Amino acid sequence: MKRLKVCYIQPEGGAVDATPRRASDEVAVLERVDNIRLMPISPPSSATATRAAVERMRLWDNGRRIRVAFLDGDSTVKQKVAAIAKEWEALTNLRLDFVTSGLAEIRVSFLDKGFSWSTVGTDALTVPRSRPTMNYGWLTPTTSTREYQRVVRHEFGHALGMIHEHQNPAAEGKIPWDKPKVYAYYARQGWSADDVDFNIFNVYERDETNFSEFDRTSIMQYAVPDELTVGSFAIGWNTEFSTTDRQFMGRQYPKHSPGVVDVEVGAGAVAADLAVGAETDVFHFAVPEAWTHIMTTTGSTDVVMTLNGPNDRGAIVTWDDDRGKDANARIVRKLQPGDYWLVVRHKQPGGTGTYAVEVKRRKS
């Protein structure tokens, strides 16, 4: 069997166990409030959710300019990498600016020979500034265009927040790995059993990611050779963005998004639109003095609302599904002074619709 050219995810901090997971979460919510999302779970007999699962995302702020710098490398190779990486701009609402001086959020190196890897999304911000967040281990000026497309699209997928498709929770049990052969194969490449578990077998917890159906055509799917599976099962090299890749990233980084909307307390309802499935809307309001506040949504769209704060964007105070009129959300809470954020999403994954949100003070 030919040597498999694989990619592995660089954990936060740039090294295994270097940084506790909490630091990675904190960096993620400072970048974008809805990187920690609640997905309500309705009991089978009820339309109203009583529990919620947490989704931990590593997305950049929508509409952001991300700076990318090369730390080393051949000029032809660098040009080819940059041209393909820029394709992500058409699929998202992000700008990738390749800079030659100053700070850069994504730092690319070619020095770690034989392996390609990247941090996932905002985990790049936890890596010391002198170190790379992404590496290409085998690209040369004469490498084929297909290989450039496969590996650069994939690594920048990680850099913008995507995980490996075979580690998507929905992939569990879908690939009939012949585990002893997989361990033996990667052992010859210097991987320990733990390395194999971390990069190949372990799927993410259901509450750690925005999972959908397993997509074997994703640019984030490894090739799976028949020799490493039981029976006849193989996945070839994916070099193109799949339909699901495009939809997923278009929803995480919608082109026309209002960003964080400021709401004035007591100034009436603000109209909003969950125009693309899986979109989240974020509203900010300020509380100058401790007072009971009423936060409501109105309209025919079934939404779920989360209240974060005070001042800490990642601290979820409470959430509500259906306490408002019809399927609307309503939160009544005495709030201490500070900044608060309301995160609104559709109850159904992929659901869309218009609604309005209002924040009032309760009359004394």
User: Where on the chain is the footprint of Zn ion (CB under 5 A)?
Assistant: 7
CB closer to Zn ion, 148 vs 340:
148
CB closer to Zn ion, 36 vs 134:
134
CA–CA separation, 125 and 116 (whole Å): 19
The least CB distance from residue 92 to Zn ion, in Å, is 18
Q: Residue 232 has which token pair?
A: 């006849």
String of DSSP letters for 234-292: -B----S--HHHHHHHHHHS-SS---EEE--TTS--EEEEE-STT-EEEEEEEESS-EE
How many other C-beta atoms can be found within 10 angstroms of the C-beta atom of residue 67? 16
The least CB distance from residue 116 to Zn ion, in Å, is 7
The least CB distance from residue 248 to Zn ion, in Å, is 15
CB closer to Zn ion, 98 vs 222:
222
Q: Residue 285 has which token pair?
A: 């309001």
For residue 124, the 8-state DSSP code is G
| Helix, strand, coil shares, percent, the chain, to 5 | 25, 25, 50
CB closer to Zn ion, 7 vs 342:
7
Residue nearest to Zn ion (CB): 7
The least CB distance from residue 217 to Zn ion, in Å, is 15
Question: Do 261 and 270 meet the contact criterion of CB atoms below 8 Å apart?
Answer: yes
CB closer to Zn ion, 120 vs 331:
120
Question: Do 130 and 108 meet the contact criterion of CB atoms below 8 Å apart?
Answer: no
The least CB distance from residue 7 to Zn ion, in Å, is 3
CA–CA separation, 146 and 143 (whole Å): 8
Q: Residue 111 has which token pair?
A: 């020095």
CB closer to Zn ion, 139 vs 342:
139
The least CB distance from residue 60 to Zn ion, in Å, is 18
